[in-house]
Amino acid sequence: MRPTEQKRNLRVLLVEDSPDDAELILCELAAAGFAVESRRTETADDTRAALDQGVWDLVLSDYNLPLYSGQEALETVQASGKDIPFIIVSGCVGDEAAVAMMKAGAEDFVIKGSYARLAPAVNRALLEAETRRRYRSTQDELHRNEAQLRALASNIPGMVFQLQLDHGRLRFTFVSDGALALFEMSPHTLHANADRLLDLILDEDRSSYLRALDVSASQLGTLDWQGRICVGPGSGLKWIAIKAGPRVAEDGTIIWDGITTEITAAKAAEQRIRASEEEFRRLSAHVETVKEKERARIAREIHDDLGGTLTAIKIDLMSLANRLSSRSGALKNKVASVDRLVDVAIQSSVRIAADLRPGALDCGIVAAIQWQARDFARRTGIRCTVHTREDDISLPANSSVAVFRIFQEALTNVAKHSHATSADIYLEQTANWFSLQVRDNGRGIAEMDRRKTTSFGIRGMLERTRDLGGQVDIAGAPGKGTTVSVRVPLTTPDIARELEHQYRLL
């Protein structure tokens, strides 16, 4: 050993009846670079006491002692339950005895007087003992982690699993106790046969499950699947959700770590929400129908009753004016003033009736939009141009009214928010769709404006379009204007069919 090298501490239990031999062994170990702390025993009781009272790195034992033997010493060490390397150091041990001791658990044997092998044997025994300790520590840690994982997984609502795809064959390498509550089968059953899960999935959902697995394996994307299973005749159908992340193992197989949960209640709630939304949509659509019906009624009354009354008053005023003599100048002026007021009232009634239910709608959606565009340009000073190759486009009555109201709302937004100087309207009919596009040159709508909870005009557009089975898109960029695009079917699907019947009663 070089002087600069630090000695390694070594606690040695010597089972040796000869003090001289013990001293030689200790000297040899010291020469090999060990700082030795030792205790010598000669009997079984002394050896047991030493094992109980101290912590030893190594046991060096003679084979033949007057009151003890190497075989008995090895059994004493093994009975203590401590993993201490055991080396026979003896001058009279035969080959058969040495082999027997090695098979019984001794690390090595060294012949007394040939101490050149002692240090290498000790180093090797210490290294093997350290390796065993690290292995046991690793195994203990692994077992603790597995126990913690199982404890954690058993308290998670659902089944935690690890699924492996090996040469096209699926197998579960880990299944938590949640499998029992979820699938009514033990984790061992699924662990032994992964196809048991596949057997539970309904036939109509099985292909989507296999497809989701295949896509996840090929793209290494998250496995996210929902489907129905039938556990047993008395259990009924269950909805389950499987979510797992894939990874490629060192051997090239694909492993998913994930969880399977029951979502039957969530699916039922989702269906109730959808039903409530559908009911709300129908109610909202019915309210719009009633509103349009009331508008039409009021417009007719204004046109027929009020308009007729005002016309009769104007005729009577004209007759009265013609009968007045030239000397009734003041009275003639009064009649003329009243006549002008009647004209204003007639114009107001016509305007109000048109706002409630434009008569142009009776001439078709194209004529109604052209009329509204001209009126908008006259009132606001914003140039408004309609572009279309169609003289008329046949739409169901409810669709015509809804599209016209959407168009009115779009123009209102142009006037109120866009700061535009012009707006272009494009009308187009394809095989099954009617398209309306309103494009202005204003400041452009921002994303936050579209998401405002107070944007009732935009929400109204969306609701009306959705009720017709159509689509609406509102896009804009700062300084580049806003474009409102609407597509509605030329037919009346689903809820719109009911509304069409109601509109025909207007």
CB 106 within 8 A of CB 15: no
pLDDT for the residue 317: 79
| Nearest by Cα to 71 from 95, 94, 47, 104 | 104
What 8-state DSSP symbol labels residue 421?
Answer: S
- Count CB neighbours of 240 within 10 A: 24
* Side chain identity at residue 124, one-letter code: R
Cα separations in angstroms, 325 against 143, 208, 320, 354: 120, 94, 10, 40
Q: Where are the beta strands (DSSP E) in 144-293?
A: 159-166, 169-175, 223-230, 237-248, 254-262
Contacts of 370 (CB under 8 A, 6+ apart): 360, 386
| Nearest by Cα to 405 from 289, 301, 255 | 289
pLDDT for the residue 390: 81
pLDDT for the residue 506: 44
For 250, the token pair is 């060192």
pLDDT for the residue 325: 65
Cα separations in angstroms, 277 against 142, 284, 338: 52, 10, 54
- Over its length of 506 residues, how does the chain's per-residue pLDDT go in tens digits? 555 567 889 999 999 999 999 999 999 999 989 999 999 999 999 999 999 998 999 999 998 888 888 899 999 999 998 999 999 998 877 778 888 888 898 998 888 888 888 999 999 999 999 999 998 888 888 888 777 766 666 666 788 899 999 888 899 998 888 888 888 889 899 988 999 999 999 999 999 999 999 999 999 999 999 999 998 776 678 999 999 999 999 888 999 999 999 998 888 888 888 888 777 767 766 666 676 677 667 766 776 677 778 778 878 778 777 777 665 677 878 878 888 888 888 777 777 766 666 666 778 888 888 988 998 999 899 999 999 988 888 888 778 888 888 888 889 888 888 888 999 999 998 888 899 999 999 888 877 766 665 566 777 788 888 878 888 888 888 888 999 999 988 876 554 455 455 444 44
Distance CA 225, CA 217 (A): 14
Backbone angles phi, psi at 107, to 5 degrees: -75, -40
Query: Maximum distance among all alpha carbons in the chain?
Result: 165
For 245, the token pair is 């992340």
